[in-house]
């Protein structure tokens, strides 16, 4: 059944208070929900009815105002309890049974590695107890949890108010959360866990206890998450004036989790992968990821929890905004330029392909069958880009004023994206109505910027935007596109220009394009003369668009060498590399010349003393196959992959002498000492091995055993696509070393699956029989199957379609246990628009095979959209 955004109806009743009683036994869990209801004054007249959602629950008792309703009269249907003819106010109580012990979907209450935990967002609460499970019903929860004393921790949201013994070896705890919240932010954890404790004093002096709960033996791996949490709390105070609002903040790490983490009020639940990390078990990239996810979930306390979504169509209200906030935090904590390059890489690799696919949707979708399918790169990452454009337009202070007004108006309520944009607009007395179009239109706008022939000291640019047709069939009106730009002279220095002949000169301008076409002239300040000016367009990626400009290769090399905007230096390298790879993949003979030009540019960059190593390393990251595909029609991922490898080898050859210098003991040890240095070292090692340098291979082989995980994994990755025995030796050494660490074994699975040499379908089947593999653990599925699809194009997109058929079989099996995961993992099979007919037909056949197996609602929505 399709739900439409326009179909929103306010709830007829509000919940004044909710009392939950959860009693866990080995073979069942009893849940009582006692709800104080009162008619919603804003719901209009009529309907004295109320839906209590419930899924796979066994109802045992139902009463209204303490009067039992006879079983025969229970108003039960597939979706739960449908109460009618209710009085203005009443108390409804239900007792039901659920089964966490057999819950493999990991929604609602489930068992993970011996502990009970919950995941309620978006609609998991209805699998725990009968409740109006919608985000606009916010209330104050009091929760009593009871379980065997074998589970010392009985955790929920808010404050602990009472504990005590219960009958026969059982005990209980009562929690009260003073902040009204929707059911999706409810959480409960029952287990035998170890706790890391710390505290944080807020700006106004509240002493907040910080608890991170982990499985026994792991408390030593929580330091980085704890430190990240404290820095996030401080940052939100400094940047947005937002303080934490309870005396306790808890994080629990669980091994079985469908996503990254969850912002439940005062009790965040995390995929253990994003909590447990130190430099021996996690790479620097992993540590950054832990930090940004801890920050993201913490930031949700205001953007998500204090102010939440009215309905799930508004998901980007909290997710786009919170991603934007965590990106800003990371940029402030590390390097802005590197952070922007990382964020844009992700957007291009994951969101742009989504926008071209059968599951394309606007950041605020218009309809859905299963809301779990809309936790997407579009809602999250493109949503963040839309906030970023408005924030840039308002400026730092203007955006802060907007945020302040948003909280002033809406604290404690459930609102819409329009409410958010209105707060930004009203607080700045500015019209943002154009930006509203970014919320309603799917598709990545194409922006063409071309130079118009003209005078010497004046450059005129023609801007044109086109909106592609997408599967979502949303309108295609011109959107506001802020284009940040500047000009460089032949020496690479910024040239000030003005927008009118005698206007104010500046090194940089923002052209806000509001219509489909736009022409703008720029007048060079001091004499201009005959100097050739190179435009640097869309600086810092000022809008989430595909840019087509008229720059020559020489001009791009110029930007790569000199632009003051580091994002554009990085992006010039991306474009040059993509041009070279695409030309090579289509049989052009130009790789040598392109590689020589790029090597020269890289050589200069390596020599730049005041450029950060982290930034230099990011310059070496070649665009991935999913990004390259958009440049070629029909796209051939296998050919692109091989061409990309050839460029890597050619760069390794072209830079052989300088790589050799960096790999010498002293220079190498110097690089090993910092995270930026390690990233650069790994990038150079990768190029060296790609070029079959014996020195690089030997160093990589030795570095596999380094105590530092960044160095160790970097070395295995460098060897992973080489046919030398060093690959096998390295991988098995890594395997033997980490066999008893399930999280690090995920890296081993991943590298095995991604190897063009070893990662065959036959090998994947063996991996899935490995004792460390667990078919019910999403991380393990992602490590083997996810990595295969995204990181091993040669075998996944194999000529004979064997990769697709294998994945289809796996997905049918996974779907019977965990529909959220199967529906997510099927997505690569739907990204076929650019491929040739043969490959498309093979992918369609795999999808038909899934469709014939009667998939879950989650999986069916994706598959049927694609087959339609």
Task: Please choose which of Zn ion, ligand ARG, none residue 539 contacts, taking the beta carbon within 5 to 8 angstroms, the exact cut-off set by kind.
Answer: none
CA-based max dimension of the chain: 92
Contact map string, positions 42 to 71, toward ligand ARG, x by CB under 6 A = ------------------------------
C-beta closer to ligand ARG: residue 244 or 734: 244
Task: Please choose which of ligand ARG, Zn ion, none residue 563 contacts, taking the beta carbon within 5 to 8 angstroms, the exact cut-off set by kind.
Answer: none
C-beta closer to ligand ARG: residue 260 or 775: 260
C-beta closer to ligand ARG: residue 185 or 716: 185
Task: Please choose which of ligand ARG, Zn ion, none residue 820 contacts, taking the beta carbon within 5 to 8 angstroms, the exact cut-off set by kind.
Answer: ligand ARG
Assigned token pair, 639: 């050919």
User: Residue 111: in which H helix or E strand, if any?
Assistant: strand 108-112
C-beta closer to Zn ion: residue 322 or 842: 322
Task: Please choose which of Zn ion, ligand ARG, none residue 372 contacts, taking the beta carbon within 5 to 8 angstroms, the exact cut-off set by kind.
Answer: ligand ARG
Instruction: Give the one residue of 255, 301, 308, 372 binding ligand ARG; rule: CB under 6 A.
Output: 372
Query: Cα–Cα distance between 561 and 603 in angstroms, integer?
Result: 10
C-beta closer to Zn ion: residue 312 or 788: 312
C-beta closer to ligand ARG: residue 792 or 822: 822
C-beta closer to ligand ARG: residue 295 or 684: 295
CA distances from 269 to 53, 233, 293, 822 (A): 23, 17, 11, 22
Task: Please choose which of ligand ARG, Zn ion, none residue 355 contacts, taking the beta carbon within 5 to 8 angstroms, the exact cut-off set by kind.
Answer: none
State the helix-helix crossing angle for 417-428 and 383-410, rounded to 10 degrees. Answer: 80
Task: Please choose which of ligand ARG, Zn ion, none residue 111 contacts, taking the beta carbon within 5 to 8 angstroms, the exact cut-off set by kind.
Answer: none
Question: Count of alpha carbons within 13 Å of 397, Cβ hemisphere only?
Answer: 0
C-beta closer to Zn ion: residue 308 or 682: 308
CB of 119 to ligand ARG, least distance (A): 6
Chain-centroid distance, C-alpha 741: 25
C-beta closer to Zn ion: residue 319 or 752: 319
Q: What's the Rg (C-alpha) of the chain?
A: 28
CB of 842 to ligand ARG, least distance (A): 30
CB of 416 to Zn ion, least distance (A): 17
Query: Cα–Cα distance between 710 and 679 in angstroms, integer?
Result: 8
Residue with tokens 């000291």: 457
Using CB under 6 A, which residues numbered 186 to 205 contact ligand ARG? none
Assigned token pair, 583: 């030309």
Chain-centroid distance, C-alpha 442: 18
Regarding 261 and contact with ligand ARG (CB under 6 A), the answer is yes
Regarding 297 and contact with ligand ARG (CB under 6 A), the answer is yes
Task: Please choose which of ligand ARG, Zn ion, none residue 259 contacts, taking the beta carbon within 5 to 8 angstroms, the exact cut-off set by kind.
Answer: ligand ARG
Regarding 815 and contact with ligand ARG (CB under 6 A), the answer is no
Residues that bind Zn ion (CB under 5 A): 319, 322
Instruction: Give the one residue of 263, 370, 565, 613 binding ligand ARG; rule: CB under 6 A.
Output: 263
Query: Cα–Cα distance between 413 and 314 in angstroms, integer?
Result: 13
CB of 268 to ligand ARG, least distance (A): 9
Assigned token pair, 867: 């087959």
Cβ(442)–Cβ(377) below 8 Å: no
Assigned token pair, 783: 């490590």
Angle (nearest 5°) at CA 861 between 856 and 866? 125
Angle (nearest 5°) at CA 297 between 295 and 301? 105
Q: Where are the beta strands (DSSP E) in 315-442?
A: 367-368, 414-415
Task: Please choose which of ligand ARG, Zn ion, none residue 261 contacts, taking the beta carbon within 5 to 8 angstroms, the exact cut-off set by kind.
Answer: ligand ARG
Residue with tokens 């303080």: 243
Q: Which stretch binds ligand ARG (CB under 6 A): 47-55, 258-266, 491-499, 708-716?
A: 258-266
Using CB under 6 A, which residues numbered 106 to 145 contact ligand ARG? 119, 121-122
CB of 98 to ligand ARG, least distance (A): 17
Sign of CA dihedral 295, 307, 176, 237: positive
Query: Cα–Cα distance between 342 and 330 in angstroms, integer?
Result: 11
Q: Which residues, in sequence order, are bridge partners of residue 185?
A: none
Q: Which stretch binds ligand ARG (CB under 6 A): 259-267, 405-413, 570-578, 767-775?
A: 259-267
Q: DSSP string covering 447-502, please?
A: EEEEEEP--SSEEEEEEEEEPPP-TT--------EEEEEEEE-TTS-EE-EESSTT
Instruction: Give the one residue of 116, 175, 240, 375 binding ligand ARG; rule: CB under 6 A.
Output: 375
Query: Cα–Cα distance between 168 and 475 in angstroms, integer?
Result: 64
CB of 298 to ligand ARG, least distance (A): 10
- Tell me how many helices (H) and strands (E) the chain has: 31, 33
- Catalytic entry in 107, 123, 215, 297: 297
* Alpha helices, DSSP H, located in 755-798: 761-767, 778-781, 787-791, 793-796
> Three-state SS string across 690-731, please?
HCCCHHHHHHHHHHCCCCCHHHHHHHHHHHCCCCCHHHHHHH
SS3 228: helix
User: Residue 566: in which H helix or E strand, if any?
Assistant: helix 566-585
237 is catalytic: no
Residue 126 has what DSSP assignment? G
Query: Cα–Cα distance between 575 and 228 in angstroms, integer?
Result: 34
CB of 815 to ligand ARG, least distance (A): 15
Regarding 820 and contact with ligand ARG (CB under 6 A), the answer is yes
C-beta closer to ligand ARG: residue 322 or 682: 322
CB of 446 to ligand ARG, least distance (A): 29
Task: Please choose which of Zn ion, ligand ARG, none residue 121 contacts, taking the beta carbon within 5 to 8 angstroms, the exact cut-off set by kind.
Answer: ligand ARG
CB of 179 to ligand ARG, least distance (A): 17
Task: Please choose which of ligand ARG, Zn ion, none residue 789 contacts, taking the beta carbon within 5 to 8 angstroms, the exact cut-off set by kind.
Answer: none
C-beta closer to ligand ARG: residue 297 or 555: 297
Residues whose CB falls within 8 Å of the CB of residue 610, separated by 6 or more in sequence, listed in order: none
CB of 274 to Zn ion, least distance (A): 12
C-beta closer to Zn ion: residue 295 or 488: 295
Query: Cα–Cα distance between 671 and 650 in angstroms, integer?
Result: 23
CB of 588 to Zn ion, least distance (A): 43
C-beta closer to ligand ARG: residue 122 or 443: 122
Instruction: Give the one residue of 37, 57, 262, 360 binding ligand ARG; rule: CB under 6 A.
Output: 262
Decide the pairing of beta strands 58-64 and 67-68.
Answer: antiparallel
User: Residue 535: in which H helix or E strand, if any?
Assistant: strand 534-536
CB of 299 to Zn ion, least distance (A): 8
Task: Please choose which of Zn ion, ligand ARG, none residue 258 contacts, taking the beta carbon within 5 to 8 angstroms, the exact cut-off set by kind.
Answer: ligand ARG
Question: Count of alpha carbons within 13 Å of 374, Cβ hemisphere only?
Answer: 25
User: Residue 175: in which H helix or E strand, if any?
Assistant: strand 170-181
CB of 76 to Zn ion, least distance (A): 34
Task: Please choose which of Zn ion, ligand ARG, none residue 100 contacts, taking the beta carbon within 5 to 8 angstroms, the exact cut-off set by kind.
Answer: none
Query: Cα–Cα distance between 352 and 449 in angstroms, integer?
Result: 20
Using CB under 6 A, which residues numbered 736 to 765 contact ligand ARG? none
Instruction: Give the one residue of 232, 258, 703, 760 binding ligand ARG; rule: CB under 6 A.
Output: 258
Instruction: Give the one residue of 146, 236, 319, 629 binding ligand ARG; rule: CB under 6 A.
Output: 319
Q: Which stretch binds ligand ARG (CB under 6 A): 41-49, 255-263, 337-345, 499-507?
A: 255-263
Task: Please choose which of ligand ARG, Zn ion, none residue 354 contacts, taking the beta carbon within 5 to 8 angstroms, the exact cut-off set by kind.
Answer: none
Residues whose CB falls within 8 Å of the CB of residue 411, separated by 6 or more in sequence, listed in order: 306, 307
Residues labelled catalytic? 297
In the complex, which residues of this chain contact ligand ARG (CB under 6 A)? 119, 121-122, 258-259, 261-263, 296-297, 319, 372, 375, 820
């Amino acid at each position: 059944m399709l739900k439409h955004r326009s179909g929103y109806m306010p709830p007829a009743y509000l919940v004044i208070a909710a009392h939950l009683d959860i009693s866990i036994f080995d073979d069942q869990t009893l849940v009582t929900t006692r709800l104080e209801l009162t008619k919603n004054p804003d719901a209009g007249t009529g309907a004295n009815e109320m839906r209590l959602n419930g899924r796979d629950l066994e109802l045992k008792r139902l009463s209204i105002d303490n009067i039992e309703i006879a079983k025969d009269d229970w108003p039960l249907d597939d979706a739960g309890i449908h109460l009618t003819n209710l009085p203005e106010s009443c108390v409804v109580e239900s007792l039901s049974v659920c089964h966490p012990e057999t819950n493999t979907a990991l929604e609602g209450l489930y068992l993970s590695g011996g502990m009970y935990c919950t995941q309620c967002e978006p609609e998991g609460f209805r699998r725990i107890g009968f409740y109006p499970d919608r985000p606009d019903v916010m209330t104050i929860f009091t929760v009593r949890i009871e379980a065997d004393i074998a589970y010392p921790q009985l955790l929920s949201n808010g404050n602990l108010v009472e504990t005590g013994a219960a009958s026969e070896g059982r005990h209980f705890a009562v929690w009260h959360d003073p902040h009204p919240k929707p059911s999706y932010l409810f959480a409960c954890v029952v287990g035998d866990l170890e706790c890391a404790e710390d505290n944080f004093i807020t700006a106004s002096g509240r002493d907040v206890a910080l608890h991170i709960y982990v499985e026994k033996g792991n408390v030593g791996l929580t330091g980085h998450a704890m430190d990240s949490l404290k820095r996030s709390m401080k940052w939100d105070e400094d940047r947005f004036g937002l303080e934490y609002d309870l005396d306790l903040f808890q994080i629990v790490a669980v091994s079985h989790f469908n996503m990254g983490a969850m912002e439940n009020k005062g009790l965040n639940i995390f995929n253990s992968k994003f909590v447990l990390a130190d430099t021996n078990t996690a790479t620097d990239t992993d540590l950054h990821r832990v930090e940004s996810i801890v920050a993201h979930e913490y930031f949700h306390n205001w953007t998500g929890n204090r102010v939440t979504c009215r309905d799930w169509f508004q998901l980007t209200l909290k997710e786009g905004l919170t991603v934007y906030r965590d990106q800003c935090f990371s940029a402030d904590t590390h390097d802005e330029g590197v952070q922007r390059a990382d964020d844009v890489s992700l957007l291009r690799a994951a969101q742009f392909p989504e926008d071209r696919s059968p599951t394309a949707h606007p950041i605020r979708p218009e309809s859905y069958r299963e809301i779990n399918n809309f936790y997407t790169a579009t809602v999250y990452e493109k949503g963040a880009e839309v906030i970023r454009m408005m924030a840039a337009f308002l400026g730092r202070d203007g955006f802060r004023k907007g945020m302040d007004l948003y909280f002033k108006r809406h604290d404690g309520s459930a609102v819409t994206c329009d409410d958010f944009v209105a707060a930004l607009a009203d607080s700045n007395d500015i019209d943002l109505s154009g930006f509203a179009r970014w919320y309603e239109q799917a598709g990545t706008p194409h922006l063409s910027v071309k130079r118009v022939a003209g005078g010497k000291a004046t450059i005129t640019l023609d801007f044109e935007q086109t909106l592609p047709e997408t599967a979502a069939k949303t309108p295609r009106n011109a959107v506001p596109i802020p284009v940040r730009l500047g000009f460089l002279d032949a020496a690479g220095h910024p040239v000030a220009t003005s927008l009118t002949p005698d206007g104010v000169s500046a090194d940089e301008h923002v052209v806000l394009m509001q219509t489909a076409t736009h022409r703008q002239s720029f007048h060079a300040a001091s004499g201009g003369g005959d100097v050739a000016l190179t435009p640097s367009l869309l600086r810092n990626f000022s809008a989430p668009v595909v840019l087509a400009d008229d720059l020559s290769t020489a001009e791009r090399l110029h930007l790569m060498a000199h632009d003051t905007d580091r994002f554009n230096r990085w992006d010039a390298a991306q474009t040059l590399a993509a041009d070279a790879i695409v030309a090579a993949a289509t049989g052009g003979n130009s790789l040598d010349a392109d590689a020589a030009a790029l090597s020269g540019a890289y050589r200069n960059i390596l020599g730049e003393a005041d450029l950060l190593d982290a930034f230099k390393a990011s310059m070496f990251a070649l665009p991935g196959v999913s990004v390259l595909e958009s440049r070629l029609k029909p796209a051939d991922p296998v050919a692109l992959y091989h061409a990309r490898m050839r460029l890597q080898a050619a760069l390794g050859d072209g830079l052989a002498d300088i790589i050799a210098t960096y790999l010498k003991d002293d220079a190498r040890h110097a690089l090993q000492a910092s995270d930026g240095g390690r990233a650069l070292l790994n990038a150079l090692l990768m190029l060296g091995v790609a070029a079959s340098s014996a020195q690089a291979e030997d160093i990589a082989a030795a570095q596999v055993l380094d105590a530092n995980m960044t160095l160790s994994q970097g070395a295995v990755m460098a060897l992973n696509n080489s046919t030398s025995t060093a690959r096998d030796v390295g991988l098995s050494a890594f395997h033997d070393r980490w066999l008893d660490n399930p999280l690090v074994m995920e890296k081993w699975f991943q590298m095995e699956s991604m190897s063009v040499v070893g990662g065959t379908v036959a090998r994947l089947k063996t991996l899935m029989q490995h004792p460390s593999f667990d078919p019910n653990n999403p991380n393990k599925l992602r490590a083997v199957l996810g990595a295969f699809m995204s990181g091993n194009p040669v075998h996944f997109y194999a000529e004979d379609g064997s990769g697709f058929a294998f994945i289809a079989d796996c997905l049918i099996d996974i779907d019977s246990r965990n529909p959220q995961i199967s529906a997510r993992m099927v997505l690569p099979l739907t990204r076929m628009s650019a491929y040739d007919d043969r490959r498309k037909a093979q992918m369609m056949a795999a999808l038909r095979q899934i469709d014939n197996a009667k998939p879950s609602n989650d999986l069916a929505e994706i598959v049927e959209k694609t087959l339609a």
